[in-house]
Amino acid sequence: MKVSTKELKKGCILITDIFSKTTHPIIPKQTVLSEIHLDVLKAFNIQEVDVDRLLADGTPFEVQAAKEESGEEDEKEMSALIMAYHKAVKGYKKQFSAIQNGQAFQYFEMRRIFDPLVARFIREPQLILNLHHYSRVDEYYFHHAVAVGLLAALLAKQLKFNNKETADIGLAGLLADIGMTKLPPQLLHSTQSLSDQDVKRLRQHPIYSYQLLKVEPRLKEGVLLGVLQHHEREDGSGYPLGIKGAQTHPYSKIIAVADTFQAMMTERPYRPKQLIFKVIEVIKADQFNKFDLRVVNSLLETAVHIAIGMKVVLSNGGIGEIVFIDPALPTRPILRMENNQPLSLKDHPPLYIEKVL
């Protein structure tokens, strides 16, 4: 819906790009507005924007008077997608709590909620990579599960897996941490550094997930192994079995990257979320010894495409627009600064991207 910028508040979600005599948006669609975004809109004298009817936390955005009734197809679809995402998170949470209370895993209920979500979200890679905006610290595990499932499915599709395999990889990503239900709640929600014993217990969750799911005859072997092995690494440094790349199932290689990306992008009780550029750099640095190269490249290509046109703030306070990213140096893009001059961060080592507008 169209609203005056005076009516905006933190948590509003843009559904169309914001331009101001630029070829790329000053603020791209799907941005969750913060105070600094509101200041940017004011500075550029933007009078009216299109925003979703839901805030980032899933609650309705109520304004005194909307400029027009909802009618645009993209607005309806985006609102429906976000609502469907929150519904899936609630469905997973309900399943998680039921298992904690001794009930059995409900296979058909999970597929009923998740499969249609994959089919709809897979056409919106930008939204999938920005799902961390909707996560809450106190409900991290539920948001994380759905986000990992969706990203795993997206990567599978890009890697040319067929539709059935893509759906199974997404489901494996969704269920990878279901074994957390067998761990003490205080361990899951601890804000303190874990003891060696607690870390050892936490690292058993892939085994618990596998044991919980293997009794379900409709789950394929690939799904079960994807769940069991999603924390294994190419160099054998992972857990719980410490096996190497050649021994791990292809599904697990995809979920490993999706899980790491979503975990680093999302705020946790013990650390803040990280910028997408930093996350990509860390994953890319590990690609030759921890992650599968093809999966990392698929994620990198998607992230680079989405990042073009982003407005960022540098460590010296300068504001620029990303116009080119070298995949080999994802955190050192070329920017178009406010004075319309290019700036290559590769040639200015002391500068770095501090935040995304």
Token digits of residue 217: 């005859």
- pLDDT, one tens digit per residue, over 117-174 is 998 898 888 889 888 888 888 899 999 999 999 999 999 999 999 999 999 999 999 9
CATH for 2-50 is 3.90.105
Q: Is the distance from CB of 154 to CB of 255 less than 8 angstroms? A: no
Alpha carbon distance 299, 149 (integer Å): 14
Q: Is the distance from CB of 135 to CB of 216 less than 8 angstroms? A: no
Burial label, 308 (beta-carbon count in 10 A; 0-12, 13-18, 19+): middle
Token digits of residue 219: 């789950």
- DSSP secondary structure of 83-138: HHHHHHHHHHHHHHHHHHTTPPP-HHHHHHHHHHHHHHHTT-HHHHHTGGGG--GG
Q: Is the distance from CB of 282 to CB of 264 less than 8 angstroms? A: yes
3-state DSSP call for residue 322? strand
Please report, as a single letter, which amino acid is at residue 187. L
Q: Residue 318: what pLDDT? A: 93
Q: Is the distance from CB of 78 to CB of 128 less than 8 angstroms? A: no
Ranges of residues in the chain with a pLDDT under 70 are: 22, 64-75, 269-271
Token digits of residue 84: 């469907």
Q: Residue 124: what pLDDT? A: 87
The structure's pTM equals 0.78
Q: Residue 73: what pLDDT? A: 60
Alpha carbon distance 288, 302 (integer Å): 19
Strands 342-344 and 334-337: antiparallel
What single-letter DSSP state applies at residue 307?
A: H
Kindly state which CATH superfamily the domain 73-306 is placed in.
Hypothetical protein af1432 (1.10.3210.10)
List the beta bridge partners of residue 314.
353
